[in-house]
Structure 1
Amino acid sequence: MDWYFGMKGHIGVDAGTGYVHSVTATAANVHDLDQVTHLVRPDDEVVYADAGYQGVEKRPVVAASEDLSGIEWRIAARKGALRAMPAQDRAIASTQAGVRGKVEHPFLIVKRDFGFTKTRYRGIAKNRNHLNMLFASANWLMRGRALPLTG
């Protein structure tokens, strides 16, 4: 019998450059909040995250860490709460969504340009190594596209 085991890739992206700086992989049943300590760098001051990371500042691991507790967490509002916000707050949320959108671009490259839409489960470690290579290649591709053409 062939079993399918779901896997999720998590990345940390620099807001200024858009380059991936952290990659982790987990089983699909692991909550996103469990990976936050692996994705945030010690020198980060502000972190933008989607609604799946709500309540991150209350987690014991984050509250106990000197580096993580000093971070300003800008977490997206859930869709239902977003509709109920005043127009000015929705505009701020829209601006923050533009910053969070930088995380999606490397996933687009990995899926569209490299064709990595499905994977065989070969163990978390092997799949994580594969993701590391894919996102490192995505960084190189983004860098190459950003360079001006000479000649």
Structure 2
Amino acid sequence: MDSPLPIAQLVDEWLQWATWQADPEKRGKPNSDLIGFSEFEWVVREHPEHAWQGILATLADARVKPHLGVLAAGPLEDFLSYHGPAFIERVEREAALNPQFASLLGGVWQFEMTDEIWARVQAAWDRRGWDNVPIDG
């Protein structure tokens, strides 16, 4: 992989992979046609600006709804762990402006985030609906 897929294709490939993984009969089975997981993982590590745009575009895609937990605990959590210091201000701004993003942020765990970044994520997130936190609480 020399350059990342265009955002629309990255989103589509990742959603195809997530849909495959969500099927109990297919979960964990190899499918060499599905490149979405490995492509997004590579983009998150090597092309953070592209990854940021990809995460936002994936969140905006209506097909992501059943896969929000995977998006939060996968690309977004990894992104914050690897690039949190460079992007935390944008993350905070997006969470303040976009309730859907604030909710997605509520699904991440600390993973490899510094304590400072983790505290800022926690201050920006909306945990309602995650880990038995009441939606209307």
Higher helix share: 2
Q: Does the alignment reach a TM-score above 0.5?
A: no
TM-score, normalised to structure 2's length?
A: 0.30
TM-score, normalised to structure 1's length?
A: 0.28
Larger radius of gyration: 1
Q: Which has the higher contact order (CA 8 A, sep 6+)?
A: 1
